[in-house]
Amino acid sequence: MRKKILINAAVPVLSIVVLLLIWQAIVVGFHVQPYVAPRPLAAIQAVTDNWGILWPLVLGTLRETAIGYVCGAALGFFFGVIMSRFQLVQRVLYPQLVLSQAIPVIALAFPLTAILGFGSTKPIIAIVVWIVFFPVTVSVLSGLSHVDQDLLNLAKVYGASKWRTFWQIEVPATVTPMFAGLKIAAAYAVTGAIIGQGASPAGSSLDQYQTHANGVFNEAAVYGTTMVMALIGVTFFLAVVGVEVFATPWQRRTVARRVRRHRSATPKSAQ
């Protein structure tokens, strides 16, 4: 088991190292100038040298993303449950939700800034909510639409209330598809926060820092800031994966039981 965990952890790390080596090879092999694309170590050094400036900006982005993510996930869960309960609501709202996602986020950022206030974090959080709630809504609605009907009928036979049936049968059946939507949303939430920072500057931000670095042709800082943004997104994704691991223990137990049964059923001669 430990060996499998180490392998699963090592493969992504090695893939990142390979990506950095390819980046280094392209810059060196094609003699790319530093003002076009720096070497990976130069971008990393630009981050470490200015970490005292970047750290508060990272915290601000994390805070805006986290608030928007939680609010968007809660809103998505609410919409998913309501639409699963009332078919009329689903027929009315679902096309509107799809239409809302057809609007480019960058085009939505400026109207939200005008409505919620320039220089405020509200538009930034609203954009994150806008990005997060749709995949969560779709995944929750899909999960609630595929609950085992036999379990629901059995609950009715035993006289379970609708509220108890919902929490003990329907919600657990929705957890797995819901986390699929949450992981998709986590990957895009930081993108929404950065777009919001560009449209509604609320003090210093990662977007402003990167824009200033680009204006003075400090491409090492530009690429380094991009790496920091990517790291924030990966951190959010891994955080959701960690919550999923604790929230769905039956998935790993089922796999472990199948492995043990397979090993016990395999004849010693075949081993």
Residue 256, pLDDT > 80, answer no
Residue 134 near residue 207 (C-beta atoms within 8 A): no
Second-level CATH architecture of 46-247: Orthogonal Bundle (1.10)
Q: What is the pLDDT of residue 100?
A: 85
Would you tell me how many other CB atoms lie within 10 Å of the CB of residue 154?
A: 13
- Encode pLDDT of 127-151 as tens digits: 999 999 999 999 999 988 888 788 8
- What is the distance between the alpha carbons of residues 214 and 220, in angstroms, rounded to a whole number? 9
Structure tokens at 188: 């895009």
Q: How far is CA 261 from CA 3, 4, 6, 254, in A?
A: 20, 19, 24, 11
pLDDT greater at residue 55 or residue 262 = 55
Q: What is the mean pLDDT of residues 84-112?
A: 88
Q: What is the pLDDT of residue 200?
A: 76
Residue 13, pLDDT > 50, answer yes
Confidence band of 35 (pLDDT split at 50, 70, 90): confident
- What is the distance between the alpha carbons of residues 60 and 121, in angstroms, rounded to a whole number? 10
Residue 262, pLDDT > 70, answer no
Tell me the whole-structure pTM to 2 decimals: 0.84
Residue 123, pLDDT > 50, answer yes
Residue 126 near residue 68 (C-beta atoms within 8 A): yes
- Encode pLDDT of 189-210 as tens digits: 999 999 988 887 766 789 999 9
Residue 231 near residue 61 (C-beta atoms within 8 A): no
What are the residue ranges spanned by the domains of the chain?
1-32, 46-247
Residue 25 near residue 19 (C-beta atoms within 8 A): no
Confidence band of 109 (pLDDT split at 50, 70, 90): confident
Q: What is the pLDDT of residue 254?
A: 53
Judge residue 58's burial from the number of C-beta atoms within 10 Å of its C-beta, 0-12 exposed, 13-18 middle, 19 or more buried. middle
Q: How far is CA 255 from CA 149, 241, 249, in A?
A: 25, 17, 10
Q: What is the pLDDT of residue 270?
A: 47
